[in-house]
Each structure stands twice: as C-alpha cells, then as structure tokens.
Amino acid sequence: MTSHMPPGFTGSSIDRADRLRLDETELSQLAGSYRARLLRLAGHDPVLDETGRLGWDSMADHGAEEMIFLGLDGDTPLFAPLGPVETGRPAWSLFGLLGQMEPKDAALWGAARSLIEWHNRHGFCPRCGSATVPFRAGWGRRCSACGTEHFPRVDPVVIILAEHEGRVLVGRQPQYPPRRYSALAGFIEPGESLEEAVARELAEEAGIAVGNVRYVASQPWPFPGQLMIACLAEAESDAITLDTNELEHAMWVDRAGVEAALRGDAAAPFEPPPPYAIAYTLLTRWLGEDTEPLAPSLSPL
C-alpha cells in the first residue's frame, strides 16, 4: 500500500501511564518534580510558543487547583489544567492554527481538550443528580453521594465517501466556508453496526443506497469528543435526493476533480477539507485506492 500522512489528532508519542492514575503518592511526586510541565491554554484552545510548538509552563508556577495527568514524555510528566471554562472557539475558527501545529502536538492538545470538555459537561451524576468530583488523575469523575464512577466517552461517527462509476459523493453544510465540500457523516445510533450506520446516513442525507462498505482509517475529533470512522461504500445509483435539513448541496466528483481540489487549483470543482481532517484522508486514500476490507465479523452489507 502507498504510504500516507496519518489523520490529524493521531500519533501522540507520550506514555499515557494508566498504571499511575490511581497512585496518589506517585502523582504528587510527579507534579512536584522540577521536570513537570503544565499545558498552556486559552480556555480550551492551544497556545503556541515562539517556535510554533505547544506552550508549557513550569508546574512550580501553576495556579490550577485541579489537573489532568496527561502522561509521561520520556521522564517529563505532563499535566493540563482542569477547571470551568467557557466553550472554546468552534473547530472551523481554529483551522488556521491547527494547520500550523506539529501532528504530535495536535494529538496531545486534542486529548486534553476532549477531557476538559467532558469534565465541564459532567459535573453532576446522571444517576442521582449529586455533584461529581474528579478522580483517577482526571480520567474519571466520582459521585459524591452515591459513589457511581463515570469515565470519559467518545461518540462514534461514520464519515463516508460513496463512490459510483469513478466518482465520489461530496456535500456541504451551510456553515462551511465558501466552496468547501466534505464527506458525508453521522453518529452511529444504539443497536447499529458500522455498516448499517453507513447505509442509513447515506440514505437519509442523500437518498443513496450503498453496499461493499470498506474501512479506511479512524480519527479522534476533539470537538468535543468524537471518534471519526472513515469508510468507502459503493452506491447503487447516482440519483441524489437531498435532505436539506442536513445538507445545502451535494455532488458527484470524478478523479480529476478531486485531484484538482487537493492540489488547490482555483478551477477545482470544490475546496477540500483541511489536511488534518479525516475527510481529506478519505479523498487521498480513494485516489490511491488504499483501503481495507472490513473484518469477517463485520461483513459488508
């Protein structure tokens, strides 16, 4: 297979050190180490230093009462501040900044952002309504009344390129930048397989019936905490019945059009997603036919 750049928000090389998350003594020693660093944030958003890398502060100077232990970068303990923050900028407003970040930095910041967002949305126990408090080094919350333990979750999302006779289907939502088109996507619902979600989403949003679903790649998406599961699927026809509640427009694009879009040609039929979005990965993998069949236990439709 052809080598490709991995999807954005993947590739963090730190040791998450799950083994230390319940060891309060060791965590206290790590936090007190002169090597320990605290991620510099503006609300949820990353703050870059003069070299364009993630900014870090000495733990000796931090003012955070609660922290998330992100893990170990060699012998350097890494933490992120945990506290109530206003909702960060939407994903699209960060695209320029994210495009400048080192992939490993984006992956590390993405994990921190997802965790902080989860904490800010789970201050109360869904079982009894009492306040919850962080535990497990910031990787969980415990109810102060009933003791129920809650852990961060990710929401699985299928993102799909339907293909038909050498073309793929792309669509745009009203909030996209001008000329921006992307792959179609939707959340996997309870009681639904990945393949079933692919078929349902394409049928609902574009009226397209598909089969031969192939897995391509996955990506954590920290806005606020999805796991994007990228697939290709073969459409039975190219007739589009658009759900205008979901999409503003959708169209079929051939290989020449996709290649032009990825090159940034002004005459291309659309502007592609940014390179760190998995929809970009889908387009590049489709051009290179770099896909894998689903496992036998996930037989195609």
* Domain 155-293 in CATH 3.90.79.10: yes
How is 9-46 classified by DSSP, letter by letter? T----SB--GGGTT-HHHHHHHHTSTT-EEE-EETTEE
Helix (H, G, I), strand (E, B) or coil at 52: coil
Distance (Å, rounded) from C-alpha 185 to C-alpha 201?
Answer: 7
Q: What's the pLDDT tens digit per position in 135-192? A: 999 999 999 999 999 999 999 999 999 999 999 999 999 999 999 999 999 999 999 9
Residue with tokens 């965790």: 115
User: Which is higher by pLDDT, 60 or 35?
Assistant: 35
* pLDDT value of position 35: 95
Residues 6+ apart with CB under 8 A from 202: 160, 162, 169, 184, 208, 209, 210, 233, 235
pLDDT of residue 292: 45
The overall pTM is greater than 0.85: yes
> Mean pLDDT, to the nearest integer, of 238-253?
97
Q: Which two tokens stand for residue 34?
A: 């002169």
- Give the start-to-end residue ranges of the domains of the chain: 1-121, 122-152, 155-293
Token pair 């949003």: residue: 205
Contact 62, 38 (CB under 8 A): yes
Whether the per-residue pLDDT at 90 is higher than 70: the answer is no
Q: Rounded to an integer, what distance in angstroms lies between the CA atom of residue 211 and that of residue 164?
A: 11
